[in-house]
Amino acid sequence: MHAKVKLPLLKDPPLYLKTLLQNKDSKGRHFVKHIRMFNMMFSFTSMGGKVDFSINRGGAPWVFRLYGQNYHRIGTLCPQPGSPPKFLQLYIHDTDNEVSNRISAVSSGNDSDSFDAKIVNNLRRMLDEHNPLTQSFRNARDMFDSTYCPNLMIRLIGRRDYDGRTYNLPTASEVAALIVGDIKGNSDKRDIVVQTRVAILNGPKSKELWKSTACNQKTGLT
């Protein structure tokens, strides 16, 4: 049978990331050894779902299994008073100390010295240059720093039942939609809602396809 679906080739990763993955020097080995933790410290959201712990009873190799709906929890733009920033808050809050904050967010006990701060800083700069979501949150940071901002909410509205070539969410620093008089407590049908400060994480309500958080931000399944 002739293939009817042709998937586009993946883009090459940014040069710095490609160098870390391919080089066999000390920094490349350090990055590959801790690659899951480096990925976690730059995550925008926290994964949610029902974890099956019973599968690991016994002597078989350890397995991580989710059942039911897998989803992502997104926090607020700023942390609660006295709480350290985490996830997307690290892109906005106290960015003068961002590198140390990111290392602390994924470190337990005294293992913060095990992460190369120069690699963390270079990954931060790479995402600032290449990732449109990172750039959007940096714009929010600049607004907080430069002007007084009232209590506000940001919504990214994406409906996957429309033609993706026409109704995709923006991939640049632009306004896709302006909603007036619509920001109320009922947000069950919105894809993403980000508030200034709330003590809980918000999860998605709709069962739709989501964008994977990748360095180039390509549409995919999560």
C-alpha span between 187 and 205 (Å, rounded):
9
Cα distances from 185 to residues 78, 188, 189, in angstroms, run 19, 9, 11
- CB 193, CB 155: distance < 8 Å: yes
Q: Is residue 202 a contact partner of residue 85, using CB atoms and an 8 Å limit?
A: no
- Torsion sign over Cα 104, 107, 109, 114: negative
User: Is pTM beyond 0.75 here?
Assistant: no
All residues at 6 or more sequence positions from 94 whose CB lies less than 8 Å from its CB, including other chains: 85, 101
- pLDDT computed for residue 140 by the predictor: 82
The tens place of each residue's pLDDT in the chain, 222 residues long, gives: 577 888 888 889 999 999 999 999 999 999 999 999 999 999 998 888 888 888 888 888 999 888 888 888 877 888 888 889 999 899 998 999 999 999 999 987 656 668 999 999 999 999 999 999 899 889 888 877 766 656 656 666 666 566 555 556 656 555 445 455 555 555 555 555 556 666 665 655 444 444 444 555 554 433
Could you tell me which of 154, 184, 183 has the C-alpha nearest to residue 170?
154
